Amino acid sequence: MALRSFFVGGNWKMNGNKGILGELILSLNTSSLQDDTEVVCAAPSIYLDFVRSCLDPRIGVAAQNCFKVSKGAFTGEISPAMIKDCGADWVILGHSERRHVFGESDELIGQKVAHALESDLGVIACVGEKLEEREAGTTEEVVYAQTQVIAENVKDWGKVVLAYEPVWAIGTGKTATPEQAQEVHEKLRVWLRANVSDDVADSVRIIYGGSVTGANCRELASQADVDGFLTEAGLQA
Ligand SMILES: *[C@@H]1O[C@H](CO)[C@@H](O)[C@H](O)[C@H]1NC(C)=O
């Protein structure tokens, strides 16, 4: 198996303020980080500059969304160029809340992925099925279709992390078992092997973004195709 360093993304969502984030940053800066684990914090866009200037440079900073072009008459949006200008190197795209609360389509997410990568941002690209889709037995169909649109927009997979988030296990108290997570991660890797390349299948980190807790993180992390987490840990309301 190719070496895939563990990747932990903390998605702060729309939480915190300068005081609370300042405290969180302080505790992150003084915590011991493992050299072989990449840690990235996704901050609210208005705090990207603040977070980047306070956070230990060993920890990456991500935006939680961006638009598909570099500038223009798009009131309220931010571009990858602006994210980079604030010193952040990553963006989360296709998060289930963007898909299902804000109605972003696969197509728009694909365009955003393409533009973010062209702008030299790393992309944490999220896929995942809703409860009714899992219950209807269409999990594979849904995550394959989402992954396909992302893949069509990626030229260089070196800066892409794929995040599998079963939507039914986010903030609902329901948790996927480590086996359920591994099953989908393995299928996504097989998908990459068949539809992209062996190299990409071996090297791309597939991280898990369901409910990750202190109680289940070890067992999740021990699954062969789970290469990290996308969590909300640290900032629950
Ligand atoms: C390749 O992609 C197609 C379209 O998404 C999908 O139906 C198929 O299952 C994929 N192949 C594998 C082996 O996953």
Q: Give mean pLDDT, residues 206-211.
A: 92
Q: Check: CB of residue 223 under 8 Å from CB of residue 181.
A: yes
CA dihedral 227, 232, 234, 235 (to 10 degrees): 160
Q: Which residue has its alpha carbon closest to ligand 1 atom 8?
A: 191
Hey, what amino acid is at 229? Answer: F
- Does residue 14 register a pLDDT over 70? yes
- As a whole number of angstroms, the distance between CA 67 and CA 76 comes to 10
Using a 6 Å cutoff on CB, does residue 141 contact ligand 1? no
Mean of per-residue pLDDT scores for the chain: 94
Task: State pTM to two decimals.
Answer: 0.96
Are 63 and 78 within 8 A, CB to CB?
yes
Query: Do the domain assignments include residue 50?
Result: yes
Q: Based on the residue annotation, tell me whether 165 is a catalytic residue of this protein.
A: yes
Q: Which amino acid is at 19?
A: G
Domain count, the chain: 1
Cα dihedral sign for 160, 189, 12, 96? positive
Asked if residue 8 has pLDDT above 90, the reply is: yes
Question: What is the spatial distance between Cα 81 and Cα 66, in angstroms, rounded to a whole number?
Answer: 10
Atom of ligand 1 at shortest distance to CA of 140? 9
Altogether, the residues listed in the chain come to a count of 237
Position 176 in a domain: yes
User: Model confidence at 145, in pLDDT bands (50, 70, 90)?
Assistant: very high
How far, in Å, from the CA of 10 to the mean position of ligand 1? 30
For range 77-91, the mean pLDDT: 98
The answer on pLDDT for 154 being more than 50 is: yes
Is 95 part of the annotated catalytic residue set? Answer: yes
Quick one: pLDDT band at residue 25, thresholds 50, 70, 90? very high
102-135 tens-digit pLDDT = 999 999 999 999 999 999 999 999 999 999 999 9
- Rounded Cα distance between 151 and 137, Å, is 23
What percent of the chain lies above the pLDDT cut of 90? 87
Nearest CA to ligand 1 atom 12: 191
At 149, list the tokens: 């649109």
Is the residue at 1 inside a domain?
no
Q: In a 3-state reduction of DSSP, which class is residue 234?
A: coil
In a domain, 41, yes or no: yes
Q: Give the range of the structural domain holding residue 193, as residue numbers without chain letter.
A: 6-232
Q: Which segment of 37-51, 89-103, 219-233 scores lowest on mean pLDDT?
A: 219-233
Q: List C-alpha distances in Å: 151 to 53, 100, 205.
A: 33, 21, 14
pLDDT bucket at 155, cuts 50 / 70 / 90: very high
The domain that holds 143 is classified in CATH as 3.20.20.70
Q: How far apart are CA 109 and CA 178, in angstroms?
A: 28
Tokens of 55: 């956070």
Residue 228: inside a domain: yes
User: Are the CB atoms for 207 and 226 separated by under 8 Å?
Assistant: yes
Q: Is residue 237 part of a domain?
A: no
Q: What are the helix and strand counts (H, E) for the chain?
A: 10, 8
Has residue 109 been placed in a domain? yes
The pLDDT of residue 1:
47
Whole-number pLDDT of residue 174: 79
Q: Is residue 49 part of a domain?
A: yes
